[in-house]
Amino acid sequence: MKTLKLCTAALALLASGSTFAAGRDYISIVGSSTVYPFSTVVAERFGKSTEFKTPKIESTGTGGGMKLFCKGLGVDTPDVTNASRRIKESELTMCHENGVKEVVEVLIGFDGIVMANDINSHNFALTRKDIFLALAKEIPGEKEGELKANPYTMWNEINPELPAIKIEVLGPPPTSGTRDAFVELAMEGGCKSFDWIKAMKKKDKSAYKSMCHTIREDGAYIEAGENDNLIIQKLQKNPNALGIFGFSFLDQNADLVKAATVDAATPEFETIASGEYPVSRPLYFYVKKAHVSQIPGMEAFLKEFTSKKAMGDEGYLTDKGLIPLDEDKYTEVATGIKELKNLEL
Amino acid sequence: MNKPINNTDQVKLSLKKRYFKEKVFKSAGLLAIGIAFMFLLVLLTDIITKAMPAFSQTQVNLTVSIDADELGLKDDSSREDFMAADFRQPIRQALRDRFPEATKRKVKKELYTLVSIGAEYQLRDAVLENPALLGQSVTMDFIADDDVDAVIKGAIDRTLPESDRRVKDQKLGWILEMEASGEVHKTFNWLFFSAGDSREPELAGIKGAILGSLYTLLVTLALSFPVAVAAAIYLEEFAPKNRFIDFIEININNLAAVPSIVFGLLGLAVFINFFSMPRSAPLVGGIVLSLMTLPTIIIASRSAIKAVPPSLREAALGLGASKMQTVFHHVLPAALPGILTGTIIGMAQALGETAPLLMIGMVAFIVDIPQSIGDPSTVLPIQVFLWADAPERGFLEKTSAAILVLLVFLIAMNAVAIRLRKKFEKKW
């Protein structure tokens, strides 16, 4: 009987797959989609140049990665999580509560967020204040402590030196880590330049946050999805629009788009590494110390990732757009990973 | 008073209007088909033209001298020694020999990017396969870097001014020189069909995703087909007519309308968290998708069984067959073409599904080709999604090529469905 045969086949298939509980012979990595492009490159090289299996990398976002990572110890939990911000105290506590007592932190480098437009279009020299005034939902009014709905529709209304074109910015949706970082670094940076708002941070943090972090919803900021390639394609079609995306995409598409300077700094390797370009963030990954001796290849993988060849200032990760650490920080990270220093916040 | 008209005249009077209405309806239908066809055509030509370059690959022909001493290898070196040896050096030396004018550090670094980073592994594997090559000089084709590939395929415009071009004048000069002498040439991209995913566009292949899709569909088929057919037979042939059965029927129909992401959440909660099955495995993917396909197959199977004429059943019963024998010897074979068509349509739906697989970790970077249903793997539509998101420009053509492979799969499955129906279909 056909049905019966298929049933047995199904059972056989299930049986062949049931060996999974025994253990895991590959490294499992989760976390930030910003670190994903770098982590995958290391994983691939590691898989090709050693006898170990290639690590599996899921792009779950920083927060989602932390949740999976801190769920506990054992082969059904990930060994490493990538993060485009530092681990929060609450997340570390969650880890500790679930038995993940020792976590090792590795700072791998920096990532810049750029605002760019079509290469044949206007040159933009922005300040963080300009960015805030162009994109915030509400901006400070005439008097101190007063807010008004953002009235600006043209760039030159904000700053007469900017081109006389409509404000049109294509950027990632609220679920994106890039958006979080952009809001925190660029918008809040500009927001803080108003003294009375800065003073508010101490008094009423949540009001301060909603003032500085809320992006306008009247069509000037267009949510273009998480796909940065799509934003670049749209910029070519619309020379008046600016797009927000990660530095690695600018690096790859330098012939199609050009970046705006922010606070007079052009986004380049050097300026981002030195902190001169203000819209940049650190990238990390976190390792479960207890897994290092359990999962085959962990030690070798960590060594590969933190080697000069990978994340040094001429390493292959810089070819993919990672902004490397300076010499002192690098040495600190490299020794930290050798000792598997436990993270304490 | 009007002259009474007879029926024929009345029909004649309304005839013009009725013809006109028919004409309007026909042309509206034609228009709808035309529009749909046009969209399909635009979509297909766009995908095919974008995908074509992905099927050829640029190779760089180099003569490499493999110096055993420099690599620190002997004939009896172990496999580990081979894996650890730095095979970049012989390739770099070959490039320096080919273009001796590159002496400055920065220029040399640029020169090394003519070949892919995969070239060293190509050379290593060649030597591993044939250790006699140690100490020899070999001429072989190495995979070119994605930038070189883009220049050769015309994706990078050579006539643009240097500042607007991703490949600078110096590198372009080398490429053009090698192209003129035939050292750089295009071949069919076999690697695309034999490799797993990669972060280098020139090394990325679709085999991992094809196998992942295959394993997932196998699990789906093995689970959903027998269960769905059994359920359909029971409901149609054996079930008593009562409220409980009605309730089940309604729920099966509702299940078919549940958004697929819900099944993903269920899979995450039940199979991964509760039964601790492995994340990212075709096993879990297949189970989740079979939950999704079950109602589709049940509904199709039931209508196929319903369409079998009752005279067939009555004849079998009349000749003394039991109910069970009637169903399995007569009704089921007659309903099989319909059941199989429904199954294949359900499978095709499962093949293109991504949402439930998001939740169970199949959106992942996986280089190794999966060997069983327990290995981590991804599936075709997710591979499309991952490549569409990659920053490297070379992945643009790979994305379209992966879509094309997926479409070929779908068309093949639908063709099988049509063929089965044609072959077994009976007119009562």
Residues of chain B with pLDDT under 50: none
- Give me the interface pTM, i.e. the ipTM: 0.80
Please tell me the predicted confidence (pLDDT) of residue B3: 64
Q: What is the pLDDT at residue A6?
A: 52
Which residue of chain B has the CA closest to A256? B164
Segment A181-195 shows an average pLDDT of: 88
Tell me whether residues A18 and B374 touch, CB distance under 8 A: yes
First-residue to last-residue Cα distance in chain B: 57
User: Testing the interface with A: which of B112, B169, B367, B424 to mutate, by most A Cβ within 10 A?
Assistant: B367
Verify whether the Cβ–Cβ distance B393 to A17 is below 8 Å.
no
At residue A22, the pLDDT reads: 52
Q: How far apart are CA A33 and CA B405, in angstroms?
A: 26
Q: What are the chain A neighbours of B85 within 8 Å (beta carbons)?
A: none
For chains A and B, count residue pairs whose Cβ atoms are closer than 8 Å: 120
Distance between CA atoms of residues B60 and B147, nearest Å: 13
Task: Give the amino acid at B109.
Answer: K
In B, which residues are within 8 Å of A255 by CB distance?
A: 156, 160, 164-166
In chain B, what residues touch A253 (CB-CB under 8 Å)?
393
Partners of A57 on chain B (C-beta within 8 Å) are: 364-365
Q: Which residue of A has its CA nearest to B360?
A: A58
Query: Given this model, what pLDDT does residue A175 score?
Result: 67
Of B229, B368, B374, the CB nearest to A17: B374
Q: How far are the Cα atoms of A41, A337, B191, B240, B319 from residue B230, in angstroms, in the given order? A: 48, 57, 43, 16, 25
Best B199, B214, B217, B395 member to test A by mutation, with max A CBs in 10 Å, is B199
Between chains, do B199 and A76 touch, taking CB under 8 Å as contact?
no
Residue A13 scores a pLDDT above 60: no
Radius of gyration of chain A (CA): 23
pLDDT of residue B221: 94
Contacts of B226 in chain A (CB under 8 A): 3, 6-7, 10
Of B83, B368, B374, Cβ closest to residue A54: B368
* Residue-range domains of chain A with CATH: 25-111+281-339 (3.40.190.10), 112-280 (3.40.190.10)
Radius of gyration for the alpha carbons in chain B, expressed in angstroms and rounded = 31
Domains of chain B: 53-189 (no CATH), 207-424 (1.10.3720.10)
A47, A56 contact by CB (below 8 A): no
Chain position carrying tokens 């290995």: B375
Least Cα separation, residue B179 to chain A (angstroms): 23
**A149-164: per-residue pLDDT in tens?**
899 999 999 989 999 9
At residue A20 the predicted structure's pLDDT band, cuts being 50, 70 and 90, is very low
With bands split at pLDDT 50, 70 and 90, how would you rate the model's confidence at A200?
confident
Residue A17 — very low, low, confident or very high, per pLDDT cuts 50/70/90? very low
What angle, 0 to 180 degrees and rounded to 10, lies between the N-to-C axes of helices B243-255 and B282-306? 130
Tell me the DSSP string of B209-250.
HHHHHHHHHHHHHHHHHHHHHHHHHIIIII---SHHHHHHHH
For the segment A238-250, the average pLDDT, to the nearest whole number, is 89
**Residues near B131 by Cβ (< 8 Å), separated by ≥ 6?**
B75
- Cβ separation of A20 and B222 shorter than 8 Å? no
Q: Do A54 and B367 touch (CB under 8 A)?
A: yes
Q: Do A16 and B367 touch (CB under 8 A)?
A: no
Give contacts of A13 with chain B, Cβ < 8 Å: 218-219, 222, 373
According to the model, what pLDDT value does residue A21 have?
Answer: 45
- For residue A41, what is the nearest residue in chain B, using CA coordinates? B199
* CB atoms B276 and A21 under 8 Å: yes
Which residues in chain A have Cβ-Cβ distances shorter than 8 Å to B221? Answer: 6
Compute the distance between CA of residue B401 and CA of residue B243 in angstroms, rounded to an integer.
51
The string of pLDDT tens digits covering residues A274-333 is 888 999 888 999 999 999 988 999 999 999 999 988 888 878 888 888 888 888 888 888
Q: What pLDDT shows up at residue A19?
A: 41
CA-CA distance, B137 to A189, in Å (whole number)?
60
pLDDT at A228: 79
Q: A124-147, pLDDT tens digit by residue?
A: 999 999 999 999 988 888 777 788
Which DSSP letter does residue A24 get? -
CA of A85 vs chain B CAs: smallest distance (Å): 21
Search chain A and give the residue with CA nearest B396.
A229
- The confidence band for A18, taking pLDDT boundaries of 50, 70 and 90, is very low
Report how far residue A87's alpha carbon sits from residue A31's, in angstroms, rounded to the nearest whole number: 12
Q: Pick A13's closest partner by Cβ from B222, B272, B388.
A: B222
Q: How far is A320 from chain B (nearest CA, A)?
A: 9
Chain B CB contacts of A50 under 8 Å are 83
DSSP B326-389: HIIIIIHHHHHHHHHHHHHHHHHHHHT--HHHHHTT-SEE--SPP-STTS----HHHHHHHHHT
Determine, for residues A252 and B393 on separate chains, whether the beta-carbon distance falls below 8 Å. Answer: yes
Kindly identify which residue of chain A lies nearest to residue B283, measuring between CA atoms. Answer: A17
What was the pLDDT predicted at B88? 86
Residues of A in contact with B219 (CB under 8 A): 10, 13
